Amino acid sequence: MTLQVFGLPVSRGVAIGKAVLVASSRVDVAHYFINADQVESEIERLREGRDVVARELETLKREMPDDAPGELGALLDVHLLLLHDDALTGATKQWIVDRHYNAEWALSAQLEVLARQFDEMEDDYLRERKADVEQVVERLLSVLARGATSAIASGASHGGSGWGGEEPLVLIANDIAPADMLQFKQSVFKGFVTDVGGKTSHTAIVARSMDIPAIVGAREASRLIRQDDWVIIDGDAGVVIVDPSPMVLEEYRFRQRQSELERERLARLRHTPAVTLDGERVELLANIELPQDAPGAFAAGAAGVGLFRSEFLFMNRNGSLPGEDEQFEAYRAAVEAMQGLPVTIRTVDIGADKSLERMSINELRHEHTLNPALGLRAIRWSLSEPSMFRMQLRAILRASAYGPVKLLIPMLAHRGEIRQTLEQVARAKQQLRDAGLPFAEVEVGAMIEVPAAALLMPLFLRHFDFVSIGTNDLIQYTLAIDRADENVSYLYDPWHPAILKLVSDTIAQARLAGKGVSVCGEMAGDSAFTPLLLAMGLRSFSMHPSQIASIKQRILRSDTQKLRLHVHDILSSEDPHARYRELVDGEPSRTPALAA
């Protein structure tokens, strides 16, 4: 029976495929594809794990005290029977053979199938036996995980290429951590859906960088959708269609083909300069997460990298930190891949919804705060660990010897933070001089993503060479909204008059001071905002490489002189979005905008 699940659209397009469920578990489960030549060894892993659990259960039964209830021995017998039942281990083996899942993933997939079967049983006693199956599986997963990395996309070296099937797959999960999303960049998944998340959570941002249809905040998706259900992900409308009719399926396949044709048409703009109708040249930069993203940014026609999110180098490492040489090689790879174009590297922005799994440094103090978005994150964390911070600064500075590099500092808000940061940069430079290691002079910039920073622009412009507006956090902190929380997502409003005023004032003050200014948040890659940002005076946009062509198209059709005439009217309106549509897009407002 066809059903629809609604969520928040975060990455546009249509994906059609069979559902792959990543069920949440009390035990972290590694999910990755194995290669064909690893199937037998993976089955052996499963068999060995089953034998270990069987021995543990038999030992428990053998060593039970004499006064133990008889029901306990009977329960252990039930668990032993379940452990050897073909419906569990035999079917799990089949997932490994057919889908090339690793053993843990195959086991959790089969648990999902069995759990639904138990839920549908009419007999109360039989229905309650689901708990026994879950306990057996949890025990087996624990045994399998003892010698393995316990992260959702562990085994990234397989890159998803091991699966030998031809059917398209879509990923359904309760949630996917941003670091884990990176592991799916080259995977077989055509789209994904999560139960939780907001439009500008970092999971959503990485999804857009992958340029695949995605929906978050779909609430019950992972409960309503079953393994291998045919699913349509409508990333434009935020709708998941489960078990679609042939007519609906054909309609969406037609939309897929139309989307592919549109992408091909936009791709032809790659070598076209981004110049407005009135001759204003605009710089289109790329946001990247890893050095291997840089070639794609260059291929998309980016004029450089406006934001290299260095924190992703620190993730999925079982708590260890990348050393200076490892970081240096990563930054150098990105710089060299851009072939002389500038690369802006942001220092580590750990915290909020981007955490490290198990860090030895200070036991990740920010992880234990009630609201990590307001805790020890970004530059606060870096300044609390000065040796780690200088190590990263040295690595970034060393990379500048191989091409133009800019240094970007996140989440600054206080004069003392500015002073400490610049002192650390100076010390890192001196350490490199003392060691005889080459580096070039780099511009140092500040992220404007805290309202305090936007309101103190004269102070920032005295100390920094350029500023970059992080609209995602600026909106979050200005409107007091957790941007990863779907419960308040309706309040997340980039068109809010306060947001537009802060952005406009920041751009104006930077231009007046002769300092560079860019927008690297999601507003930069949203073509709905392009004319307004141009009218505000913005001439540098940084976005995911997949968004560059559509933004360039909007720029080529814009006349900044005409747009500039409407800025004051839009910014002074109580409903800037409605007024913008009326003045710029030519759409009549449903309600008249009153002057504020």
The answer to whether position 159 is within a domain reads no
Pairwise CA distance, residues 537 & 518, whole Å? 10
Judge if 1 and 43 occupy the same domain.
Answer: no
For the cut 80, the answer to whether the pLDDT of residue 589 exceeds it is: no
Q: Percentage of residues in the chain with pLDDT exceeding 70?
A: 83
Going by pLDDT thresholds of 50, 70 and 90, the confidence category of residue 178 is low
346 is in an annotated binding site: yes
What pLDDT score was predicted for residue 165?
Answer: 58
Q: Quote the CA–CA distance of 99 and 533 in Å, as a whole number.
A: 47
Confidence at 72, pLDDT banded by 50, 70, 90: low
Residue numbers of the domain that contains 591: 572-596
The Cα 279–Cα 262 span in angstroms is 26
Q: Which of 236, 267, 298 corresponds to the end of one domain?
A: 267
The proportion of the chain whose per-residue pLDDT surpasses 90, expressed as a percent, equals 52
Q: Which of 230, 246, 267 is the last residue of a domain?
A: 267
Of 109, 125, 150, the position where a domain reaches its end is 150
Per-residue confidence band for 1, with pLDDT thresholds at 50, 70 and 90: confident
Same domain, 423 and 454: yes
Calpha distance 300→545 (Å, rounded) = 6
Predicted confidence (pLDDT) per residue in 490-528, tens digit: 888 999 999 999 999 999 999 999 999 999 988 999 999
Annotated binding-site residue? 380: no
Asked whether residue 47 falls in the same domain as residue 65, the answer is yes
Indicate if 215 and 256 belong to the same structural domain: yes
- Is residue 129 marked as binding? no
Question: Does residue 379 surpass a pLDDT of 70?
Answer: yes
The single residue of 79, 100, 158, 520 carrying the catalytic annotation is 520
142 pLDDT band, cuts 50/70/90, is confident
How many domains would you assign to the chain? 4
Helix axes 39-62, 103-119, angle to 10 degrees: 60
Contact in structure between 3 and 236 (CB atoms under 8 Å):
no
207 plus 234 within the same structural domain = yes
The answer as to whether 188 is a domain residue is yes
Least confident residue range of 20-24, 52-56, 275-279: 20-24
Q: Does 141 fall in a domain?
A: yes
pLDDT at 436: 97
Q: Which of 136-150, 280-294, 362-376, 578-592 has the highest mean pLDDT?
A: 280-294
Highest mean pLDDT among 113-122, 144-153, 414-423: 414-423
One of 202, 366, 544, 577 is an active-site residue; which one? 202
Looking at mean pLDDT, say which of 19-33, 72-86, 197-211 comes out highest: 72-86
Residues 462 and 323 in one domain: yes
Catalytic residue check, 202: yes
- Does the annotation flag 255 for ligand binding? no
Name residue 553's amino acid.
Q
State the burial class of residue 6 (Cβ atoms within 10 Å of its Cβ: 0-12, 13-18, 19+): middle
520 has catalytic annotation: yes
**Is residue 449 a known part of a binding site?**
yes
Q: Are 146 and 188 within one domain?
A: no
The predicted model scores a pTM of 0.71
Q: Do 429 and 476 belong to one domain?
A: yes
Residue 156 within a domain: no
- pLDDT at residue 67 greater than cutoff 50: yes
**Same domain? 141 vs 177:** no
- Tell whether residue 483 is among the known ligand binding residues: yes
Token couple for 28: 């972290």
Structure tokens at 10: 């975060």
